[in-house]
Amino acid sequence: MAIYVVLGIAWIAFSDRLLDALVPDAELQRTLQTAKGIAFVVLTAALLFLLIRGSERGLRALSAEVRATLDSIADGVMLVDAEGRIVEANRAMIQLLGATSKDEVTGPISEWSERWKLRSVDGAAVPNERLASMRVLAGEPNPRYDAILQRADGVDVFVSVSSAPVERPYGRRLAVTVLRDVSPARRLDDAREEFLASAAHEFKTPLAVIKAYAQLMARREPEEAHPLAVIQRQVDRLALLVQHLLDASRLRLDPADGRQERFDLASLGREVVEQLRHATTKHDLRVAAGAAVPVQGDRDRIGRVIATLLENGIRFSPAGGPVDVRIESDGVEAIVSVTDRGLGIPRDRQERVFERYYRAHAGMPDDPGGLGVGLDVSRAIIQRHGGRMWFESVLGEGSTFHFTLPMVAEARA
Amino acid sequence: MTDGPPAVLVVEDDPDLVALLEMVLVESGRRVRTAHEGRAALARVGEEMPGLILLDMRMPGMNGWEFAREFRARHGHGCPIVVVTAAENARRRAEEIGADGWLSKPFDLDEVLAMVARFLGPAGAEGPAASR
């Protein structure tokens, strides 16, 4: 191209002078000049044609490569333009939806989500402006969510949707949206959660029978009150473990599960401590709670979180001693802290304390047992209520677990 | 119709739990009828409208949800229903079927008696009487 430009300029600048010098005859000069002009135009046209064809072939090859790359991606990929139209979709997208041609999966995205019955995991339709592609077009950098689609054959598919912007040098931005089929993993999850839920259910009925018979006997034989109280206490302990398993599975199954009510965290804390006081003879359970601390959420579950922290405090201080529950507030947040003077958690194991099934004391000589689900579930419950959970612990000195909950205005509580 | 104070209908598939509830309720002066699943319970209700139904949710045959739907369809709000469930959120199960109360397993016997008294009032002066 550069050579063409140099030669072209040189030709225009010097060819006439050259002609003047070489051909003296004016008539012949004019004829030659016309021929020269025609030759220049023809040559230029031919050159331009070759150039354009070359770059077009390159473009076509590039486009075929991009197409092949898109089609070789195992996840469904689609390109959405600024008007919210799906302009491109790869082969995996067509297969994911069980469609027969690309035409079925392109077009306005609002029609697309209607056609394939796009729903969020809880079954509610996803409004147009909440679609990942539309959020990207509105300026959000990288939205993602899980959803359900209905394939052409009527089967539901669980997909994980994510989208990212494609900035273009000319024209408005596009959104590239990826749909990953997570159905197999999801089905396995569902089966496992369902199993866990029924297992927990099956455990609780016999517990109910044992506890009720123990209570019946305690009424009839007051002199046997102590052993029967032990049976009840152990049943309660088993029931709490079962409840943790249920919570662990239910929290994932029904994200919207749980009741919203206003309650006083301070009196809930006192209540839980009273309920657990009979669970130990070696420990001194103390509550420091002042004025009412109004919060909002699932009172039963928050109660179980406090019970879990207290039970842990008791369990992880086998030598006995005080376990303190402190409930305070800074007017914006309520803070609950549970402190024991027990075993403490080794520093190198602290990072994993909130992992499900992880037990920081596993394999240690003073391992007091447990399932490793209490803290994971508790933290999930607190996070779902908009709070945080953390702890401090020193090996051999004990641990303090804290959680916060947002407070609600007292006037409305 | 059977004579006597309104009965408590215990709908529960675990025979040990049924036996215990029946024993405790009869001892406290209630008349008790029992059914091991929903269809049998509907038959009991057909014979005699109880004063209160204690309803388990997970049962073989007709479960608690189906029983509640059928009961409402046939008898409207014929009598209060208290859900007795091992489910993680007993209150929610109760709301699902529009029940009047709930007891979560494992429960305290005193809770059961208090719940029955709440709907039927103090135990009748007629004294203990059981019928099936």
For residue A211, pLDDT over 60 is answered with yes
Choice between A254 and B100, residue whose per-residue pLDDT is larger: B100
pLDDT at site A331 = 84
Predicted confidence (pLDDT) per residue in A24-73, tens digit:
788 888 888 888 889 888 988 998 899 899 888 988 988 888 889 989 99
- Model confidence at A161, in pLDDT bands (50, 70, 90)? very high
As to burial, measured by CB atoms within 10 angstroms (0-12 exposed, 13-18 middle, 19+ buried), residue A412 is exposed
Looking at residue B125, its pLDDT comes to 45
Binding-face residues of A in 303-342 toward B, CB within 8 A: none
Question: Once rounded to an integer, what is the mean pLDDT over residues A131-158?
Answer: 91
Which of B39, B38, B37, B41 is closest to B9 using CA atoms?
Answer: B41
Q: How close is the nearest chain B Cα to the Cα of A232, in Å?
A: 10
| pLDDT of A412 above 90 | no
Distance CA B8, CA B4 (A): 12
The pLDDT, as a whole number, for residue A93 is 93
Query: Residue A413's pLDDT band (boundaries 50, 70, 90)?
Result: very low
Q: Is B129 on the interface with A (CB under 8 A)?
A: no
pLDDT in tens, A164-203: 999 888 888 899 999 999 988 888 877 877 777 677 778 8
How high is the pLDDT of residue A410?
A: 60
| Other residues' Cβ atoms within 10 Å of the Cβ of residue A68 | 10
Residue A4 is predicted with a pLDDT of 73
Average pLDDT value for chain A: 86
Residue A211: closest C-alpha in chain B:
B106
ipTM, two decimals, is 0.82
Q: Which tops the pLDDT comparison, A222 or A4?
A: A222
**Residues of chain B under the 50 pLDDT cut:** 125-132
Can you give the pLDDT at residue A187?
84
Determine, for residues A209 and B23 on separate chains, whether the beta-carbon distance falls below 8 Å. no
pLDDT of residue A31: 87
Determine the distance in angstroms separating the CA of B105 from the nearest CA of chain A, rounded to an integer: 5
pLDDT for the residue A42: 92
User: Which SS3 state, helix, strand or coil, does residue A53 take?
Assistant: helix
The amino acid sitting at B72 is R
Q: Which residue in chain A has the smallest CA separation from B104?
A: A208
Q: Is a pLDDT exceeding 60 seen at residue A141? A: yes
Closest alpha carbon within chain B to A202 = B86
Question: Which residues from chain A sit within 8 angstroms of residue B91, using beta carbons?
Answer: 259, 300
List of chain B residues whose C-beta atoms are within 8 Å of the C-beta of residue A258: 89
| pLDDT given at position B132 | 44
- Detail the DSSP E strand segments found in A81-133: 85-89, 107-108, 119-120
State pLDDT tens for residues A16-37.
788 788 887 888 888 888 888 8
CB of A212 less than 8 A from some CB of B = yes
What is the Cα–Cα distance from B12 to B17, expressed in whole angstroms?
7
pLDDT of residue A286: 94
- Distance CA(A271)–CA(A289), nearest Å, equals 12
- What stretch of H or E contains B35? strand B32-35
Query: What pLDDT was estimated at residue B3?
Result: 64
For A348-400, what is each residue's pLDDT tens digit?
989 888 887 788 887 777 777 677 778 888 998 899 899 999 999 999 999 99
Q: Given an 8 Å threshold on Cβ–Cβ distance, is A205 in contact with B23?
A: no
CB-based contact A114:A159 (threshold 8 Å): no
Average pLDDT of A95-124? 90
Q: Return the residue of B nearest to A201 by Cα.
A: B86
Kindly identify which residue of chain B lies nearest to residue A251, measuring between CA atoms. B88
Instruction: Give A315's pLDDT tier (boundaries 50, 70, 90).
Output: confident
Phi-psi region of A242 (alpha: psi -120 to 50; beta: other; left: phi over 0): alpha
Sequence length of chain A is 413
Do the Cβ atoms of B109 and A239 come within 8 Å? no
Tell me, what's the pLDDT at A277?
83
Please indicate if any CB of chain A lies within 8 Å of the CB of B127. no
Q: What is the pLDDT of residue B130?
A: 42
Does residue A254 carry a pLDDT above 80? no
Q: Nearest 5°: phi and psi at B6?
A: -60, 140
> How much is the pLDDT for B54?
96
